A and B are shown apart, each in its own frame.
Chain A
Amino acid sequence: MKIMKLAAITMAAILPVTSAFAGFPEKPVNYVIPFGPGGESDITARHQQSFFKGKFGQDLVISYKPGGGGAVGWSQLNRMKGDGYNIMGINLPHIIVKPKQKNVGFKTEDISGVYMFHYTPDAIVVNKDSPFKSLQDLIDHAKKNPKKTIFSGSGKGTANHLAQVRFDKMADIKTTYVAFKGTGKAVAALLGSQVSAEWGYTSVGAKHSDKVRMLAVAMEKRHPKFPDVPTFKELGYNLVSGAYRGIAVPKSTPEAIRTKLSTMIQEINADPEFQKKMENDGMAMLNVDASEYDAFIKKMTGIYLDAAREGGIIK
């Protein structure tokens, strides 16, 4: 037995690296979501799941490791086996902001991302019957009534919260941000008029299109599903942000497998059917592959940490 194993290892060492993993994946891939089931991280993973099997012939098995707003999962990522069959979802700004707050068991640099595959852009959402018809209405109201414009949003130190902090500064207004547990609760507070508006996502606009409208979205260009909603950029505020999602592997995963995984996720991302499904849910596609990951995180770190300091989340 041992000799066989040894032989296999030597064989693998002799053969060129790429061909050793040419057959990857040969068994189901375990995809850990560091949140509970039913959230947006889960739903996007489920979208990928249904394409994975068709393209690569193996199952993508989704499991959950919730706790600490993702920290429990990420702090254990590098302890998992690095054979490519263990991958984990990662979320921005979480993996950047959390480790800067306190010891959460992992550092941003500890996470080896292989691909960032989409983001859900931030957006200001109001009820259909809201007096705020445009972003300018809201800004005017906020200027006249400092702190009395109340936003709901999902959590603190999150995309929603950091967008609120950044936008307040850009527009020179003071608003109040009320953190709810998850987007569902934040939307319920908006629909029930407990708050005046919500810092939400384009996915909220897609899901609740019969009840709400968006004043502006934080994207480079308008979202294909909402051609009538302006971007913050068009209105003169340089705000492009959202909840970015990607996939990471344990540190011990070989380079060849990382590259392979990266191309695989890219392949799913390139599928028009997948894109259609994602965009219908209000998400925006993103393609940051393994080679561009580090530069991307560096860029986002600068932006998020400034906003987090501004918002008093980190010192």
Chain B
Amino acid sequence: MKIDAITKLEKADISGMLVAIILILVAVLALWDTTEMTDADSFVFPRAIAISMISFCILFIVTQMIYPSIEGNDEARVVGGSTTRRIGLVLAMVVSSLLMPWLGFLVSGVLAFGSIMMLAMYDEWTLSRRLLFPFAGIVIVIGFYFMFAELLLVPLPVGTLFE
């Protein structure tokens, strides 16, 4: 009996169910926030959606309990490769964005570009690459900067450190 339950659980879509539980909490949070709204125009739609989301999530969990199965997008579930590099990429993007108001777009852009370049490097750093890649990177960053700031008139942050 006990073994049965475990094998059943192994077949079930655990991560999918976990997401469903988290989303139920998100929906509850949203519902709680709607209680502060006074205008029906504001709360009718989000309430309807939050309630539907909760029902779909519960329905999903219940079906998984009864007919456990992992179906659909199987390829997407395989996580290969380097997790460190993944996290590094995300950090590089987030940190350089957060530094942008202080360092300005150009400097933080070069920082982001440089660190992501290191993360994405799988070949050997030969001398020519050492010279060429950083140079090309700086040209690309400055080129885009020029295009956005001068041609498209986007007010890119200059950075408070340099004022």
Contact = CB atoms under 8 A, between A and B. Distances in A.
Nearest to B153: A61
Interface in A273-315: 312-313, 315
A156 to B, nearest CB: 7
Contacts of B163: 81
Nearest to B152: A63
B154 A156 contact: no
A73 B163 CA distance: 22
Contacts, number: 14
Contacts of B39: 156, 312-313
Interface residues of A, number: 10
B155 A63 contact: yes
B153 A312 contact: no
B38 interface: yes
B38 A312 contact: yes
A62 to B, nearest CB: 8
Interface string B152-163: 011100000001
A156 B38 CA distance: 13
A185 B39 CA distance: 21
B41 interface: yes
A133 to B, nearest CB: 32
A252 B29 CA distance: 40
Nearest to B158: A81
A30 B39 CA distance: 37
B154 A179 contact: no
Contacts of B38: 312, 315
A315 B37 CA distance: 11
B35 to A, nearest CB: 14
B120 to A, nearest CB: 33
Contacts of B155: 30, 32, 63
B162 to A, nearest CB: 12
Interface string A14-44: 0000000000000000101000000000000
Nearest to B36: A102
A313 B41 CA distance: 11
Contact of B153 (A63, A156, A315): A63
Interface in B137-157: 153-155
A235 B95 CA distance: 62
A162 to B, nearest CB: 14
Interface string A60-79: 01010000000000000000
B54 to A, nearest CB: 26
Contacts of A312: 38-39
A315 B153 CA distance: 41
A63 B154 contact: yes
Interface of A: 30, 32, 61, 63, 81, 156, 179, 312-313, 315
14 contacts: A30-B155, A32-B155, A61-B153, A63-B153, A63-B154, A63-B155, A81-B163, A156-B39, A156-B41, A179-B41, A312-B38, A312-B39, A313-B39, A315-B38
Q: 6 nearest interchain CB pairs?
A: A63-B155, A61-B153, A30-B155, A63-B153, A312-B38, A179-B41
Given A63-B155, A312-B39, 4 more contacts: A32-B155, A63-B153, A63-B154, A312-B38
Interface of B: 38-39, 41, 153-155, 163
